[in-house]
Amino acid sequence: MTLYPSRLVLILLAASALTACSTYEPFADQPTEPARPNFPIRTPAQTPDQSAPQALPQDTTPAPQASPLPPVESRPLDAPAAPAPSTYQPQAPAYQPPAYQPPAYQPPPPVMQTVTKLTVTGKVVTIGGPPKTHKVKSGDNLDAIARDLGTTRKQLAEDNDLKSPFRIHPGDVLKGPSTEAKAYVVGQGDTLYAIAKRFNVTGQALADANDISIHTPLNAGKKLILPDGYKDKGPIKVETQVQIAGGPSAPRPTSPAQTYPSQTYPSTPQPGPETRPYTPPPEPARPTSVTTTTTKLSVTGKVVEIEGPPAIHVVEKGDAVDAIARGFDMTRQEFVKLNKLKEPYNIHPGDKLKGPPQTLKAYVVGQGDTLALIAKRFNVTPKALAAENDMKPTAALKPGKKLTLPDGFKDKGPIKETIKTVTETPAPNNSYTPPPYTPPPYTPPQTQPQLPSQPRPYTPGPTTPRPGPRPLR
């Protein structure tokens, strides 16, 4: 068997190492054991056809001897060092959290909702309006006036209480047939200003058209005549903010859960505070409202006679002085003297001749009177009353002024106005204050010791001998 040089060197190194391990003695007083490798050694199996390995030459080099260990020095232990001075610092007490204070409850803001409500929702109906009027001028006759008013001569004479020969004078106001007018049916809660707003007119014009005061309360179902030129804009929309009931609300803050130490209570119940039946506090008094009805008289002035303007006659072709004088119930001499005519008393068409002054009825204005209220008392329209006195329907009146009453007036006497006044009486401050409660003094219960039902024999316990005195040394 041929061995390579490198393999031979490795075998020699391994043998030297095994020899050194087997001869190493660490301590002389301890038994030595042969060194064993810490890895497994597997011996290759020999095949029958292989020859036994040749013996290796023995190495005659002596194994190196282990060097002796140095001697161990022994000495006494050093004394322990003195402890350092104590530097104890007392610790701060344990942190105690402050008592919990729940935040003040803030109610959530109310939830509002816009609600649209319709007002002045009444109907517009057609009713019989005031009659047509015609103011007589010089040269007018009954037939022509009847044709202008759309009626007959007979009907016009009956409407104005005229008798044959149906004499009329300049300045007379004749009533014609009734006209048709539009009226609004007052609903619950309607006011004069709200109705005037719907029909695009002023409150004063609406009051004048119905001969009422602007402050007169309206009853449901009353029909108000609408003035000329009105424009119906439909029911009025009113938007209001209403709070929704049961809106979202924030939960009230609650204090954190607290843990209390367990306590042992005596088995004998202790008397508690005196229990009284609950008496609810009285309800707070509510304010009371008192309705006072006051009847006020207005338009209480007097009716007097005044001298009105003279009658005027416009001369037409064919008129004669004597005929005109007879028409004024005057003599020829009185008529000529009044108009300062000279002989031969020539007159021409278009000349205006004066008649005798007229005696008229007039009303003396009082404090607070208005043209509409005066017209209501005398059953005429404010326009006719204003035209008779050459003034505007909205003109202000001064106390003491005399207003000429138009023909056909009818005095109904002073006007009664009913005014309702609601007076609220504040509720008395009867706040309930409960009386102070004083608990009764506590008296502990008196307990008596329980005695045995039968006497028990006395049995002395075991005695322990006491030690004697110690001998003196």
Residues 153-168 pLDDT 10s? 888 888 888 877 677 8
What is the rounded CA–CA span in Å between residue 197 and residue 204? 12
Which is nearest to 182 in space by CA: 118, 120, 123, 121?
123
Query: What fold characterizes domain 117-242?
Result: Membrane-bound Lytic Murein Transglycosylase D; Chain A (3.10.350)
Residue ranges per structural domain of the chain = 117-242, 298-422
- Across-strand partners of 135? 173
Neighbours of 138 (CB within 10 A): 16
Rounded Cα distance between 142 and 162, Å, is: 10
290 burial (CB, 10 Å; 0-12 / 13-18 / 19+) is exposed
Give long-range contacts, CB 8 A cutoff, 24+ apart: 279-283: 281/432, 281/434, 282/430, 282/432
Write down the pLDDT at residue 186.
93
Q: What angle do CA 83, 85, 86 make, to 5 degrees?
A: 110
How buried is residue 414: exposed, middle or buried, by Cβ count under 10 Å (0-12/13-18/19+)? middle
Cβ-proximal residues to 310 (8 Å cutoff; 6+ apart), any chain: 338, 354, 355, 356, 357, 358
Whole-number pLDDT of residue 250:
46
Main-chain dihedrals φ then ψ at residue 167, nearest 5 degrees:
-80, 135
Sign of the CA dihedral 222, 223, 229, 233?
positive
Which secondary structure element, helix H or strand E, spans residue 124, and what is its range? strand 124-135
Q: In this predicted structure, what is the pLDDT of residue 259?
A: 47
Q: Which token pair is 336? A: 């000529």
Q: Burial, 135: exposed, middle or buried (Cβ in 10 Å; 0-12, 13-18, 19+)?
A: middle
**Extended strands (E) in 277-399:** 288-298, 303-314, 352-364
CATH homologous superfamily, domain 298-422: LysM domain (3.10.350.10)
Both tokens of residue 84? 């350092």
The answer for residues whose C-beta is within 8 angstroms of residue 321's C-beta and 6 or more apart is 332, 335, 336, 341, 345, 347
Say what the pLDDT of residue 180 is.
79
Tokens representing 355 are 């008649």
| pTM above threshold 0.75 | no
Name 124's bridge partners.
Answer: 184
Q: Do domains 117-242 and 298-422 have the same CATH topology?
A: yes
Mean pLDDT of residues grouped by 10 in the chain (473 residues)?
69 80 54 57 52 49 55 63 60 73 79 84 84 83 83 84 79 82 90 91 89 87 89 86 64 49 50 59 68 82 86 85 83 87 85 84 91 90 89 87 88 82 67 73 69 65 65 60
Neighbours of 149 (CB within 10 A): 19
- The predicted pLDDT at position 423 comes to 74
